[in-house]
Amino acid sequence: MNKKRLLTFVAVILLFLTVNVQAQEQRTLTLEESIEIAKENSPLARAANFGLISAKWRYKSFRADLLPSLTLGGDAPNYNKSIFSNVQDDGTVTFSSRTQSEASVDLSIQQNIMPTGGNLSLSSGITRLGIFAGENTYLWQSTPLVASIRQPIFQFNSLKWRNKIEPLRYQIAQKQYVEDMEDLAFNTTQSFFDFLLAKINIEVAEFNVTVNDSIYNISQGRYQVGSIAENDLLQSELALRNAETSLTTAQLNFQRAEENFKALLGIPDQVSIEVLAPEEAPTMNIDVEKALELAQENNSTSLEFELNEIQANQAYDQARKEAGFSATIQASYGLNQTSETFDRLYEDPQNRQFFSLGFEIPIFNWGKNTAEIQAARNQQVSTANTIAYQKLQFDLNVRSTVREFSQLQSQVDLARISDEIADRRYEVAKNRYLIGKIDVTNLFIAQNEKDSARRSYIQALRNYWTGYYNLRRLTLYDFERNAPIVMDVDL
């Protein structure tokens, strides 16, 4: 008896675990839950995250170029054993062998000067020369401190332009990350309703197979008693076969929609998914001008227009600077000393001075410089005109999206009412057919209208929510909460 109780207890535990596992493999999702899961688990969300992180590191790299840098360099042991030629006073040439080692180490601090494009540096170094011939000889040289400056004149200042471009690029990357996430929400909404519509098509197809099978059986009985013609019997049979074919097609489409939906959300294949249609489409009164202002302020497209304009101006400035007179001033001042022993290397250091002025003046190159300047100038004008047109198109797109969205709410309401009417009409038609008041043709018309109205209602919901998330990704604004959409990724 105890053994039977133990087996019963084990069976109950196994049944409970099985039910629990099955419950864990079943998920019911709303539209909002689907979007949140996609933003957390989707491969597209991870790609957007890493894209923003990459942009952050690129911006940090640029910021580092504006700060002082400390560099330690050296060369050791730099061993050299060779034979070289010597020219004597009488013109004869002799050959001698040489074996030596020259090791050095240098520590320097460099600072770029952004406004002028120059470079300032402080350095300190030491060198040891070893000559190996008979008795080894060592010589030491030190540069305790050397201050140097390199200043281009009338040359293209790339760092100054980068200071305009790189912060703007980082702002664009931040906004594009939010846009990518909103684009993911938009795609998830489309996939959600594709899956929901595929599910409804299966439900409709299964219902139609059941109903048409019943109608066919009824039609067979009526045909046998002579109350309907053979044409009506064949029509009901044809409707049954078409319903069975539609069910097979709906099952294939459902499987494809389910796989695409899971892949987008990053949900494993073994998890069973159910989706719930949104109960309503909230009424939102969105002002066209406000939406346009938000889009111009928040969307990365506006910043991309600015970036393209700056890059065109940069190209023109570079072409002008490279075609004209340019010079470079280099100067340094410091201390140095030599010694045969290391302990006297820093005694009484001597001055070390250096100054040079290099210049380049283009004289004649078959009009190449003029051509480069004119090409950059016309590209600058072309970019300005293209940006003006793109701004106009962007504004028109925002205005059109807002106007279309304002009509989608009423379309949802009308589609819902039509769905209810078509459903009631089909019930009436079915009951009238069962009592012989209408023929099978009118019944099938009511059935098709019911199916069409149901799909139209789901399609209206789909249009509403995709329109809403499309408006969000254009404006980067949450109209339900009346707040900008801001996201970030921690490094």
Sketch out the chain's domains with CATH numbers: 38-66+157-324+366-491 (1.20.1600.10), 71-113+118-154+326-361 (no CATH)
Among residues 393, 402, 394, 401, the alpha carbon closest in space to that of 288 is found at 402
Q: Residue 360: how many CB atoms within 10 A of its CB? A: 12
Asked whether residue 136 carries a pLDDT value surpassing 50, the answer given is yes
Q: How far apart are CA 156 and CA 315, in angstroms?
A: 10
Asked whether residue 273 carries a pLDDT value surpassing 60, the answer given is yes
Q: How far apart are CA 487 and CA 192, in angstroms?
A: 23
Q: Tokens 């340094």 identify what position?
A: 332
What pLDDT shows up at residue 488? 65
Q: What is the pTM of this model?
A: 0.79
CA distances from 217 to 175, 204, 434, 444, 479 (A): 62, 20, 12, 15, 54
Asked whether residue 186 carries a pLDDT value surpassing 90, the answer given is yes
What pLDDT shows up at residue 58? 94
Place 280 in a pLDDT band, splitting at 50, 70 and 90. Answer: confident
Q: How far apart are CA 18 and CA 401, in angstroms?
A: 50
Strand spans (E) along 409-451: none
Q: How far apart are CA 408 and CA 286, in angstroms?
A: 12
Give the β-pairing of 69-75 and 93-113: antiparallel
Residue 113 has phi, psi (to 5 degrees) of -105, 100
Q: Which helix (H) or strand (E) holds 25?
A: none
pLDDT tens across 379-436, in order?
A: 889 999 999 999 999 999 999 999 999 888 889 889 989 989 999 988 898 888 778 7
DSSP 325: -
Are 184 and 34 a contacting pair, CB within 8 Å? no
**Pick from 46-55, 91-100, 197-206: least confident:** 91-100
Asked whether residue 459 carries a pLDDT value surpassing 70, the answer given is yes
For residues 9 and 158, which has the higher predicted lDDT (pLDDT)? 158
Stretch 200-219: mean pLDDT: 85
> Three-state DSSP class for 439?
coil
Asked whether residue 11 carries a pLDDT value surpassing 60, the answer given is no
pLDDT tens across 325-357, in order?
A: 888 999 988 888 888 778 787 787 877 776 777
Q: How far apart are CA 143 and CA 127, in angstroms?
A: 9
**Pick from 130-134, 238-242, 273-277, 366-370: least confident:** 130-134
Asked whether residue 491 carries a pLDDT value surpassing 60, the answer given is no
Among residues 185, 227, 194, 224, the alpha carbon closest in space to that of 45 is found at 185
Amino acid letter for position 231: N
CA distances from 17 to 5, 9, 28, 381, 439 (A): 18, 12, 20, 72, 53
* Mean predicted lDDT score pLDDT of the chain: 85
For residues 220 and 18, which has the higher predicted lDDT (pLDDT)? 220
Asked whether residue 5 carries a pLDDT value surpassing 60, the answer given is no
Q: What angle do CA 172, 173, 179 make, to 5 degrees?
A: 85
Q: Residue 1: how many CB atoms within 10 A of its CB? A: 5
